[in-house]
Structure 1
Amino acid sequence: MNAVAAMLVATLLGQGYYSSEEAQGLFQQANEAYYRSDYAAARAGYEKLLERGFGGPDLQYNLGTTYLAQDDLGRAVLAFERARRAGGDGPDLEANLALARARQLDKVVGSEPEESFLQRVVAATSGNGVAWGFLAAWVTGFVLLILFRLLRPGRRAWAAVLGGLFLVLSLPAGALLAAHVWVQENLHEAIVIAPTLRAREFPREEAKVSFEVHPGLKVRVMEDTGRYVRIRLPNGLEGWAEREGVAEI
């Protein structure tokens, strides 16, 4: 995948640890380590970039492939999911994510709760695409309305029509963008990274264990208290697990 461009542009401002050249050099060194099958060195390089505030779909994808090569399924799925959320796509990402999921120990069975219409719409659309679409329609509409005021009478009707059309188009785009923001702020998905994560009836160590799950399983974090979070499995089963055993996407 493309090495550095997307990773650096969005995150370079405010970073005092590495210059763009240093970050690019470290990224390339990690890539070379991966191709030599020195997965420990590759992992260390990618993780160092993340610790310094750099990110992006390419870095997350490469880190995910490194975790997968080390059979660290939880962190592999987590990195691939983060790559998707950051705007990454393509057959390589989907193939590696499917491979990681196929290796998972847990095969959750049962009736999965139906997602709401809002969740399905958000899942079917790109957050970045929606944001850019809304911005483009809104800005274009106002520019055309300003142009309408500047043009002479008799030559400005087209600007009013097109300006109004673009502003109308910005309304559903804005609503969809608001839906993306709401889902991102209120629906917290996480990946199990602990070798064995025990979910209990109550958020206490002495509480009875309801079930166990293993690395790579995607869960939903419903609430948290102290060192525990209440997780919900894809089949609707819920329990309290230690916070350190999961990582939010």
Structure 2
Amino acid sequence: MKKILFLLVCISHFAFAQTSEELFATGNTFYKEGDIEKALESYLKIEDQGRISSELFFNLGNCYYKLNKVGATIYNYERALQLDPLNQDAANNLVFAKRLTIDRIEELPKSIFEKLNEKYLQKISYNQWAIVSCVFSLLTALFFLFFYFSYSSSKKRFFFVTSILCILFFFTSLAITYHQYNYAKDSIYGIVFTEKTTVKNEPTSNSEEVFTLHEGTKVKVLDTVDDWKKIKLVDGKIGWILAKEIQLLPQF
């Protein structure tokens, strides 16, 4: 009986996967034919099934771009890059999409480490950095064993130096993994979805307005109080916005 149940689960899983692939192909066909609404509907069905991918969000971003929905466009390109920071097509399209936004916010100067982190270290996720750490730990053990069992002095020197280098790379990648993990968990971002919204200096409707934001602007979320989110812009400005007016980027 257990074998039959297991077989049924496998078959249903296979059919589920096939359905998602068919929906993706159907969406692509509709998109090529210029029927953006139907293409979007197909892609959203895949998302509802929970079979997310960088390619899916990239295609969703393209659909929303064609429909001139700035907030949703940027939101989905950002999600595509969350899953695959090396998705160059999503990165390029995100640049074009941001040109549609009204707000022109000048970013504060970054330190050398922040530039290094953004340009190189964040190109792979903390999970991928963890894999790199595991690889270097295995290489360290392997080369140490080669060193231990070698009889030639030249080979011993080579394996010893190589194992030392591997352990240095291991600790470096482990530190990067720890930093990227904390950065990902502590950094919550959202995209403004309303056409225009006011940002307050306190989480109350009758508080003072400090500045306005428009659809598509990316904000960092610092805190939550009732129906309000405390946000920070790249230029350092801080204020409170109604939670319903932004869409939070999920933390994968």
User: Aligned pair in 2 of structure 1 residues 17, 153: CA closer, same or farther (>3 Å)?
Assistant: closer
In structure 2, what is the equivalent of residue 192 of structure 1?
Answer: 192
Q: Does 2:242 match 1:247?
A: no
Task: Show the counterpart of 1:141.
Answer: 140
Where 1:19 maps in the other structure, the secondary structure is: helix
Cα offset, 1:124, TM superposition:
1.6
Letter in 2 for 1:78: Y
Per-residue deviation, residues 173-210 of structure 1 (Å, max 9, x unmatched): 22122221121111222221222222112112222332
Pick from 52, 55, 59 the counterpart of residue 55 of structure 1.
Answer: 52
Q: Confirm or deny: 8 A CA contact 1:141 1:163 kept in the other structure.
A: yes
Q: Distance in 1 between matches of 2:196 and 2:99?
A: 18
Structure 1: gaps of 5 or more residues: 1-12
Distance 1:186 1:120, change over 3 A: farther
- How much does 1:138 deviate? 1.9
The alpha carbon displacement at 1:117 in A equals: 4.9
Q: Which has the larger radius of gyration?
A: 2
Is 2:114 aligned against 1:81? no
Distance in 2 (alpha carbons) for counterparts of 1:17 and 1:228? 43
* 2:203 is the alignment partner of 1:203: yes
The corresponding residue for 2:108 is 113
* Matched-pair contact (CA < 8 Å) for 1:57–1:87: yes
What letter is aligned with 1:133?
Answer: V
Given that 1:122 and 1:176 are in contact with CA atoms closer than 8 Å, whether structure 2 keeps it comes out as no
> What amino acid is aligned across from residue 140 of structure 1 in structure 2?
L
Summarize the alignment of residues 201-240 of structure 1 with structure 2, pairs less than 5 Å apart. Answer: 201-240=201-240
1:42 matches 2:46: no
Alignment of 1:119-198 (within 5 A): 119-125=114-120, 126-128=123-125, 130-149=129-148, 151=149, 153-154=151-152, 157=156, 158-198=158-198
CA distance in 2 between counterparts of 1:242 and 1:118 reads 33
CA distance in 2, matches of 1:245, 1:119: 29
State the identity %: 19
Code of the aligned partner of 1:211:
F
* Per-residue deviation, residues 8-55 of structure 1 (Å, max 9, x unmatched): xxxxx9x96962212111111111121122222222222222222222
Alpha-carbon contact 1:65-1:76 (below 8 Å) kept: yes
Q: CA, structure 1 residues 122+17, in 2 after alignment: closer, same or farther (shift >3 Å)?
A: farther
Which structure has the highest helix share of the two?
Answer: 2
Task: Name the counterpart of 1:67.
Answer: 64
Q: Secondary structure at 1:190's aligned position in 2?
A: strand
CA distance in 1, matches of 2:191, 2:45: 21
Over aligned residue pairs, what C-alpha RMSD do you find? 2.6
The farther-off stretch of 191-200 and 60-69 is 191-200
Number of equivalenced pairs: 233
**Cα distance change of structure 1 residues 182 and 145 upon mapping to structure 2, 3 Å threshold:** same
**Does the 8 Å CA contact 1:192/1:214 hold for their aligned counterparts?**
yes
Query: For 1:62-114, what per-residue CA distance to the aligned partner results, in whole angstroms no more than 9, with x for missing partners?
Result: 111011011111111111122122224455323321221111111225xx433
* Letter paired with 2:178: A
Identify if the C-alpha distance between structure 1 residues 187 and 17 changes in structure 2 by more than 3 Å, giving closer, same or farther.
farther
- Partners of 2:130 and 2:184 in 1: CA distance: 14
CA contact (8 A) 1:198 1:213 kept: yes
CA offsets, 1:140-183, max 9 Å, x none?
1123334555x365587244432232111111122122221121
- Change beyond 3 A, Cα 1:213–1:159: same
Would the aligned equivalents of 2:86 and 2:124 in 1 still touch at CA under 8 Å? no
